[in-house]
Amino acid sequence: MCGIFGYIGEDDALNTCILGLEQLEYRGYDSTGIAGIFDGNLQICKETGKLANLKQRLTFKTLQIAIGHTRWATHGKVTTANAHPHNDSQRTIALVHNGIIENWEELRDQLKKEGFVFVTETDTEVITQLVSKNYKGSLVDAVQTALPFLKGQFAIALIHKDHPDQIVASARNCPLSIGFNDTQTESIISSDLHAFLGKPLNVIFLRDDEVAKVERGKVSVFDKNLARIAKKLDKLDRDFKSPSKEGYEHFMLKEIYEQPTTIQKAYFGRVNDGCVLFEDLVLDLSATKNVWFIGCGTSAHAAAIGGNFFEEIAEIPAQVEIASEARYRMIPPGTLVVAMSQSGETADVLSAVREIKAKGHKILGICNVKNSTLTREVDACIFLNAGPEISVCSTKAFTSQITVLYLLALHLAKKGDFDALQLIPQHIQQVLENALWIEEKAKHYSRYQNFFFMGRRYMYPTCLEAALKLKEISYVNAVGYLGGEIKHGPIALIDENCPVLAFLANSQTESKMMGNLQEVKARGAPILAFAPKHLSSISTIADDVIWLPDTIDPLSPFASTVAGQLFAYFMAKTRKCDIDQPRNLAKSVTVE
């Protein structure tokens, strides 16, 4: 995923663009770039690596109008040439792009035959040259003419040296917000609202292939036929402020420590007089016979726990399909599909939702970002209310997702036993208060390069999630595995150089897990156990133990997960990894 930003207004456009890109850098940080107009000249500066590198390389001091970009590379290596913005051969147009143009090679070959010269390996440059080819004096017209040739998804912003008073923008299946102030002195374009820098703006969201001409404090939107269209205005809350670390060293640590609060926000106002009601649930779920969850990464792990809830609490059969595979499956008629996505922008989820919807299924979204693309594609959406999650490594969203899924299972079962869930924030607080012990264990195990994470029942998706955390921020090989499966082959990998992290907080499968631990101990594996306080016998097997509060099996993933998050955080810190922006990753993967 990439971040695009544009500014035209009374403030210095260059500086404002830098501030905007700082808020978007979590979307991708392989390279950054800014283009703008000053004194009738098109200025462009771009650099590999993070925004700090660009700031050092800037070749101009001010701009009247600017567009900027943070890149997560899809087509083309991470080089300065491939960094956005991309300009046309005459250096009159500059463009930034988030998304993928699927027919870029065909278009590029055609444009090359017409004499256009390409200097990058990107799909984006094709858009720039196509607009340049169609430019006859109106940038809006040129963009509108080019769009029908493009296959794929995009959010784009363009400037032209002959039009220093306007930025032209368009979008298709990619997020793009456009804001302008009441006094009509400034306008902002951004991939997400957090980059609006706390300014109280009127906001519009483009529908697919609409084109916007953005001037100082004014936005004109045109449809496919270049007819001017009126757009609904949203008002950005005045207290909508850009997220900050609030004193924590990393966003990830802040978001881990937010969880006692965010879990309460996930259930606040949704449990009254012993029954669960969702304010956004406009779908009638009473006839639900079975459920298919779709999601990716952490969201898929939350879905797996949710599937257990649905079966155990509501006695509704449930299964999880990884979104990139779901489109190939035959989903039985009458199935409720639940699309899980923190960002609401994950391309694999969006593509699956569109295909499944086309087959006539009802889809419920569970999401953390209002106005995200997923919220517009599903039949109903329940929000996590967890607040912006900035760290690429998802933490608070996961525990909020399983909170919502637990409530949804209670809702479907028409049950209200909610007392155990109300204790969870305190349980998590107890884990957070044990952080120094967890940090000590992480430092002790930081010398290893390979790990097995092991669990059964509710602890299986929990251990998958804990393993993912460790992989993505510490860059070590961490494999989550079913406790009962290790002996069917993977145990061949177990030796004194391969610690086993055992997640035991599932009373139903405790004795079997203890047996699995004897098997790996016999092969010399160091064992770190994440165990409930009542399981004192684990101390005779494990080399180290991280103790957890006792709770019922369905709610055991909460404390175990937070302990796993802290373990991964401190391991990454010990290994001096980039915690909030790990290499090769982005906060939301908007390509398939």
In the bound complex, what is the minimum distance in angstroms from residue 196's beta carbon to ligand AGP?
21
- Given 87, 166, 342, 400, the residue binding ligand AGP (CB under 6 A): 342
- Given 13, 393, 478, 491, the residue binding ligand AGP (CB under 6 A): 393
Interface pattern 433-472 for ligand AGP (x via CB under 6 A): ---------------------------------------x
Structure tokens at 406: 């637990």
Residue 93 has phi, psi (to 5 degrees) of: -120, 140
Q: Which of 2, 296, 393, 463 is catalytic?
A: 2
Asked whether position 191 contacts ligand AGP by CB under 6 A, the answer is no
Q: Which stretch binds ligand AGP (CB under 6 A): 77-85, 217-225, 330-338, 391-399?
A: 391-399
Q: Which of 50, 362, 469, 587 is catalytic?
A: 587
Nearer of residues 132 and 368 to ligand AGP, judged by Cβ: 368
Q: Which stretch binds ligand AGP (CB under 6 A): 129-137, 238-246, 387-395, 505-513?
A: 387-395
CA distance 460 to 305: 9
Structure tokens at 420: 């155990």
In the bound complex, what is the minimum distance in angstroms from residue 305's beta carbon to ligand AGP?
14
Tokens 């009247």 map to which residue?
Answer: 64
The DSSP bridge partners found for residue 364 are 338, 380
Q: Which stretch binds ligand AGP (CB under 6 A): 240-248, 340-348, 500-508, 567-575?
A: 340-348
In the bound complex, what is the minimum distance in angstroms from residue 585's beta carbon to ligand AGP?
6
Tokens 């990439």 map to which residue?
Answer: 2
Task: Catalogue the E-assigned strands of 191-253.
Answer: 202-205, 211-215, 218-222, 228-229, 234-235
Tell me which residue of 66, 60, 12, 2 sits closest to 34, measured CA to CA.
66
Asked whether position 337 contacts ligand AGP by CB under 6 A, the answer is no
Structure tokens at 83: 């960094």
Residue environment code for 183-219, b if the CB has 16+ CB neighbours within 10 A, otherwise e: eeebbbbbbbbbbbbebebbbbbbeebbbbbbbbbeb
Asked whether position 299 contacts ligand AGP by CB under 6 A, the answer is yes
Task: Let me know: does 83 contact 69? Beta carbons within 8 Å.
Answer: yes
Contacts for 532 with CB less than 8 Å, ≥ 6 apart: 504, 505, 507, 547, 548, 549, 550, 551, 556
Asked whether position 298 contacts ligand AGP by CB under 6 A, the answer is yes
Structure tokens at 343: 């960002």
Tell me which residue of 190, 196, 197, 194 sits closest to 171, measured CA to CA.
190
Cα torsion angle, 372, 374, 376, 378, sign: negative
Asked whether position 341 contacts ligand AGP by CB under 6 A, the answer is yes
Asked whether position 343 contacts ligand AGP by CB under 6 A, the answer is yes
Nearer of residues 66 and 470 to ligand AGP, judged by Cβ: 470
Asked whether position 349 contacts ligand AGP by CB under 6 A, the answer is yes
Q: Which residue is nearest to ligand AGP (CB)?
A: 297
Residue 227 has phi, psi (to 5 degrees) of: -85, 135
In the bound complex, what is the minimum distance in angstroms from residue 412's beta carbon to ligand AGP?
22
CA distance 188 to 196: 7
Tokens 């004096």 map to which residue?
Answer: 137
- Given 36, 297, 549, 554, the residue binding ligand AGP (CB under 6 A): 297
In the bound complex, what is the minimum distance in angstroms from residue 8's beta carbon to ligand AGP?
31
587 is known as an active-site residue: yes
Q: Which stretch binds ligand AGP (CB under 6 A): 66-74, 295-303, 351-359, 532-540?
A: 295-303
Asked whether position 190 contacts ligand AGP by CB under 6 A, the answer is no
577 is known as an active-site residue: no
Asked whether position 187 contacts ligand AGP by CB under 6 A, the answer is no
In the bound complex, what is the minimum distance in angstroms from residue 468's beta carbon to ligand AGP?
6
> Where along the sequence are the contacts to ligand AGP (CB under 6 A)?
296-299, 341-343, 346, 349, 392-394, 472, 588-589
| Catalytic residue numbers, as ranges | 2, 587
